[in-house]
């Protein structure tokens, strides 16, 4: 059974940094693209970033390009999202998902506020 | 970027009703289209991928159709557990984009 468990969310001041993790199990993690998607409170879903299986190729939404970095550790079956220069508009629940988008993790809440 | 336009943004329906949600892409995406539903406080759940392929375990009252730019999600007989928000998503090109959502509420 595929399982994804996000962690690392919390309250951070504007301009601060946070690293999210997504622990994966139940599939051959290193073989697949992985994604981050976020959802601001009361709003819709927004794709953030993706990374290929060996970590050599990444894509980002324009809104996070240059501030966020996606990475993975295939030995640990873990996906990461390093978030720097955080803004109030980055406040959201962040989900990880495999390339076929089933299932998603439970999400981790990031709140950017002073 | 490919824009995904869902309609309606909300609807009210009764148990047993047939419900149709549409999703239009700003350019052709072939059949690279997913449908999800999401209940409050929960992660989205994939219902249909490749525009019309029902995911394992998803009830057969759900169906998807379309290709190119116009897509439809149909619930043939709405059940109490189907009251949720529904999203389409294109996976044709990055940035992957979602529709704005359709909230299905109880009439």
pLDDT at A83: 98
Of residues A42 and B107, more confidence is placed in: A42
pLDDT of B107 strictly over 90:
no
Q: Which residues pair with A95 in a beta bridge?
A: A37
> In what helix (H) or strand (E) does residue B12 lie, and over which residues does it extend?
strand B10-13
Q: Which positions in chain B touch A61 (Cβ < 8 Å)?
A: 95
Q: Is the peptide bond before B102 cis (omega within 30 degrees of 0)?
A: no
Distance CA B50, CA B1 (A): 20
Percent of chain B with pLDDT over 70: 100
Q: Which positions in chain A touch B36 (Cβ < 8 Å)?
A: 45, 101
Contact B96 A107 (CB under 8 A): no
Strands (E), chain A: 3-7, 10-12, 18-25, 34-39, 45-51, 58-60, 68-73, 78-83, 92-98, 108-112
pLDDT at B106: 87
Q: How close A35 comes to chain B (CA, Å)?
A: 10
Instruction: Name the average pLDDT for chain A.
Output: 98
pLDDT in tens, B3-26: 999 999 999 999 999 999 999 999
């Amino acid at each position: 059974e595929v399982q994804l468990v996000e962690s690392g969310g919390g309250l951070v001041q504007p301009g601060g940094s946070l690293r999210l993790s997504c622990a994966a199990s139940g599939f051959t993690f290193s073989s697949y693209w992985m994604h981050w998607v976020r959802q601001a409170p009361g709003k819709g879903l927004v794709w953030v970033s993706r990374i290929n299986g060996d970590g050599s190729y990444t894509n980002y939404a324009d809104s996070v390009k240059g501030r966020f970095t996606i990475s993975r550790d295939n030995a640990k079956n873990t996906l990461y999202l390093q978030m720097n220069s955080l803004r109030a508009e980055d406040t959201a629940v962040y989900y990880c998902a495999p390339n076929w988008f089933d299932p998603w993790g439970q999400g981790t809440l990031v709140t950017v506020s002073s | 970027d490919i824009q995904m336009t869902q309609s309606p943004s909300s609807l009210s329906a009764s148990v047993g009703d047939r419900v149709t949600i549409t999703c239009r892409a700003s350019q052709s995406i072939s059949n690279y289209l997913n449908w999800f539903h999401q209940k409050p406080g929960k992660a989205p759940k994939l219902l249909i991928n490749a525009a019309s392929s029902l995911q394992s375990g998803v009830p057969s009252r759900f169906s998807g159709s379309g290709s190119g730019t116009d897509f439809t999600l149909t619930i043939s007989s709405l059940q109490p557990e189907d009251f949720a928000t529904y999203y389409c998503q294109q996976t044709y090109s990055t940035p992957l984009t979602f529709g704005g959502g359709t909230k299905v509420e109880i009439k």
